[in-house]
């Protein structure tokens, strides 16, 4: 009985991943390549890119003294243009203290707790998104450079497994759309290759800035699956895999998407 | 080959009084020869369901002579003229459970209960459409002649 059940489960996994072929490096394209001319122009011009408002807000938070010791991010890190250049390009990274991977938003919250003695910002709060966008913006134009850390390897593997595995009532995997059908349209929308080049980004549909985790959770809800919680190790594993998959592509933070 | 598919409907509440309806349909070759419900099919309801992006989801993947063209997907065959290519019995199996024909298909099985991972609470134990809805869609699609 048991082994028959397991056999059936394995068969399902094999079937579920059979078609997924990875996108050759030469064919990789950022989500912005699929957008209309108007949306691309909106992203390219800082005075019309709505995400820049959050970057400005983040800049103010960076310099604002907070907590008992009245320390700001700048008190420790100085000018972000120098100290934060390239940082976002190498997240998620391995966090020694928790012995687990941490994404950029998690890292910002860890500084807030440990060095400023403050409560962490809520995931997807305007403040956390603004600080993440501000730090991310310091890497705009730089290639994604995943950390070469063997301790991340099992998390990378988990992220890939989640990406390739069919889930939800609609029984689709991330790969079903983003590897196998990226050049097509779902309803009226281009599907795209799901490269995490622009996060946090301003999505016109959301009328707001949002994180990569929000986007991935949306796709999970779309296939009628139970999404992983914000900050969950599984979502960070997906982020790690998406970054690896997009290694070398340039960051656009804050991007605009339809 | 005759395969019998059993689909169990379990109401949301799972109260003991809540009946568990079981629908069985017979697959013969690449068809389901018999209608899925006793009442007459309603092709106009089928047309309405086809265009419904949230309930049937068909137009997310398929284009065809229904709803606004710019809101239709293109990752599945265009359904224009489908009634000239396939019989109602063939269409019925494809909508009810295309995975009986192609286990690898991108298309969800509309009358099978998904048994994959991480199905959201609200959809667990349920089929995507009910047999009457599938029958109405089949009746509509069969009218699409070139």
Q: CB under 8 Å to B11, separation ≥6 — which residues?
A: B18, B19
Say if residue A254 is preceded by a cis peptide, omega within 30 of 0: yes
CATH code, B79: 1.10.760.10
pTM for this prediction: 0.91
> What number is the ipTM of this complex?
0.90
Q: What are the domain boundaries of chain A?
A: 28-258
Give residue-wise pLDDT tens across range A120-156: 999 999 999 999 999 999 999 999 999 999 999 999 9
A252 touches A199 (CB < 8 A): no
Q: B119, B137 in Cβ contact below 8 A?
A: no
CA pair distance A52, A39, nearest whole angstrom:
15
Number of A/B CB contacts below 8 angstroms equals: 76
Q: How many domains does chain B have?
A: 1
Smallest Cβ–Cβ distance between B123 and the set A18, A220, A224 belongs to: A224
Fold of the domain built from segment(s) A28-258: Cytochrome Bc1 Complex; Chain D, domain 2 (1.10.760)
Question: What are A27-80's pLDDT values in tens digits?
Answer: 999 999 999 999 999 999 999 999 999 999 999 999 999 999 899 999 999 999
Q: In this predicted model, what pLDDT tens digit does every residue of B94-122 receive, in sequence order?
A: 999 999 999 999 999 999 999 899 999 99
- CA distance to partner chain A, nearest, from residue B24 (Å): 20
Q: Work out the minimum CA distance from A194 to partner chain B, whole angstroms.
A: 17
CA distance B136 to B44: 8
A226 touches chain B (CB under 8 A): yes
Instruction: Report how far apart, in Å, the C-alpha atoms of A34 and of each of A30, A117, A194, A196 are.
Output: 8, 43, 11, 14
| Measured distance CA(B101)–CA(A180) in Å, rounded | 20
**Is A219 among the catalytic positions?**
yes
- Summarize pLDDT for B126-141 with one digit per residue, the tens: 999 999 999 999 999 9
CA distances for A252 relative to A26, A176, A197, B17, angstroms:
19, 26, 6, 56
> Which stretch of DSSP H or E encloses residue B5?
strand B2-9
Closest residue in A to B69 (Cα–Cα): A188
Confidence of residue A11 (pLDDT cuts 50, 70, 90): very low
Query: Strands, E, within chain A: which ranges?
Result: 93-95, 100-102, 185-186, 189-190, 201-203, 208-210, 256-257
| Collapsed DSSP state (helix, strand, coil) of residue A215 | helix
What pLDDT digit, counting tens, does each position of A148-195 carry? 999 999 999 999 999 999 999 999 999 999 999 999 999 999 999 999
Alpha-carbon gap: B134 to the closest alpha carbon of chain A (Å)? 16
Domain range holding B34?
2-142
Q: Chain B interface residues facing chain A, Cβ-Cβ under 8 Å?
A: 53, 57, 59-61, 70-75, 103-104, 106, 108-109, 114, 116-124, 126, 128
Structure tokens at B98: 């295309």
């Amino acid at each position: 009985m048991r082994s028959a059940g397991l056999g059936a489960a394995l068969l399902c996994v094999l079937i579920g991943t059979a078609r997924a072929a990875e996108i050759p490096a030469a064919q990789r394209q950022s989500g912005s390549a699929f957008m209309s001319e108007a949306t691309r122009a909106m992203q390219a011009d800082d005075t019309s890119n709505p995400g820049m408002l959050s970057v400005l807000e983040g800049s103010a938070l960076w310099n604002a003294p907070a907590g008992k010791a009245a320390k700001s991010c700048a008190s420790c890190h100085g000018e972000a243009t120098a100290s934060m250049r390239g940082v976002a390009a190498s997240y998620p990274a391995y966090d020694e203290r928790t012995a687990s991977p941490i994404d950029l938003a998690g890292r910002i919250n860890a500084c807030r707790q440990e060095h400023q003695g403050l409560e962490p910002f809520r995931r997807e709060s305007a403040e956390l998104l603004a600080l993440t966008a501000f730090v991310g913006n310091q890497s705009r134009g730089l290639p994604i450079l995943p950390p070469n850390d063997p301790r991340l390897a099992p998390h990378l593997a988990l992220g890939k497994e989640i990406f390739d595995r069919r889930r939800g009532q609609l029984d689709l995997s991330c790969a079903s759309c983003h590897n196998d059908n990226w050049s097509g349209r779902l309803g009226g929308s281009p599907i795209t290759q799901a490269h995490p080049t622009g996060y946090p980004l301003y999505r016109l549909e959301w009328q707001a800035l949002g994180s990569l985790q929000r986007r991935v959770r949306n796709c999970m809800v779309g296939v009628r699956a139970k999404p992983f919680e914000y900050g969950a190790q599984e979502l960070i594993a997906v982020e790690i895999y998406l970054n690896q998959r997009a290694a070398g592509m340039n960051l656009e933070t804050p991007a605009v998407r339809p | 080959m005759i395969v019998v598919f059993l689909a169990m409907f379990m109401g949301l509440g799972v109260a003991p009084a809540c009946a568990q309806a079981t629908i069985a349909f017979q697959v013969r070759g690449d068809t389901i020869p018999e209608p899925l419900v006793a009442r007459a099919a309603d092709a106009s309801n089928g047309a309405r369901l086809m265009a419904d992006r949230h309930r049937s989801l068909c137009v997310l993947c398929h284009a065809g002579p229904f709803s606004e063209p710019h809101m239709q997907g293109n990752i599945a065959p265009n359904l224009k003229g489908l009634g000239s290519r396939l019989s109602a019995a063939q269409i019925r199996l494809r909508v009810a459970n295309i995975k009986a024909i192609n286990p690898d298909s991108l298309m969800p099985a509309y009358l099978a209960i998904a048994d994959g991972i991480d199905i959201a609470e609200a959809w667990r134990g349920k089929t995507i459409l009910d047999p009457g809805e599938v029958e109405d869609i089949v009746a509509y699609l069969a009218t699409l002649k070139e």
